[in-house]
Amino acid sequence: MIELLGCRKTYPGQAGRPPTLALDSVDLTIRASEFVCVLGPSGCGKTTLLKIVAGLLPVDQGEVRIDGRLVTGTGPDRAFVFQNFALLPWADVVTNIAFGLELRGTAKSEREQRAHALIEAVGLEGFERHYPRQLSGGMQQRVGLARALAVDPQILLMDEPFGSVDAQTRRLLQTDLLALLDRSPKTVLFVTHSVAEAVRLSDRVVLMTPRPGRVHAIVEVGLPRPRPDNLDHFPRYSELKEYLWQQLRDMQQ
């Protein structure tokens, strides 16, 4: 379980500008094996929130706890998936996927075995020795997802991971992610700008206010799992998309 208790984060001003209050009084609880999407206007602190849970940024006020333990830095229970892939350009697919295991001192045979299993799981067979420059954006993001899963974290922190690929690839990656989580459940905190993506993937949607980011609403999705590929015939899907869009629009007017 992830708990954010009264979290506040301010960035110092640059070039004589005043400080920026990014997050203020954020309280949020995420249950084990729950998929939670964070949705909100640009600049509302979504990525800041994710980095705080990851232990990459400290809070100025409040605290973050995972299973009751205070978060004071990064840890092996969490893995981060970035929007820009963040792959090692000089390393092939196997080496990129196994990189986190290598940092943890895992034997080469074991980490390559794990990498090959994940290559199959994310549909990259035949590309084991390709380099990032030889892969499409969607394939690169599959490598990034496999790399995060290779270390078998309890928690996946995903910062708009599908935001830089085309709509068709994005849909395929969403389907792949859900299938992987059906096989190996994780607690997921997923930042997105897409209302449809948030509803399609999550158990709950956390709607943030414009900066400073606060929790405006938490919405239960209530759609069946495993998620059908086509949700358009579920009235709840359309209703939630419209409700969340109206909330976002009203907050920014």
Report the CATH number at residue 243: 3.40.50.300
- Please tell me the predicted confidence (pLDDT) of residue 4: 96
Q: What is the pTM of this model?
A: 0.91
Residue 10: inside a domain: yes
Rounded to the nearest 10 degrees, what angle do helices 167-183 and 137-150 cross at? Answer: 20
Whether residue 228 lies inside any domain: the answer is yes
The pLDDT tens digits for 29-81 are: 999 999 999 999 888 889 999 999 999 999 999 999 999 999 999 888 999 88
Provide the residue range defining the domain that includes 45. Answer: 1-77+156-164+196-253
Is the residue at 171 inside a domain? no
CA 64, 66, 69, 74 torsion-angle sign? negative
Q: What is the dihedral of CA 106, 85, 119, 75, to 10 degrees?
A: 30
Count structural domains, the chain.
1
In this predicted structure, what is the pLDDT of residue 83?
A: 79
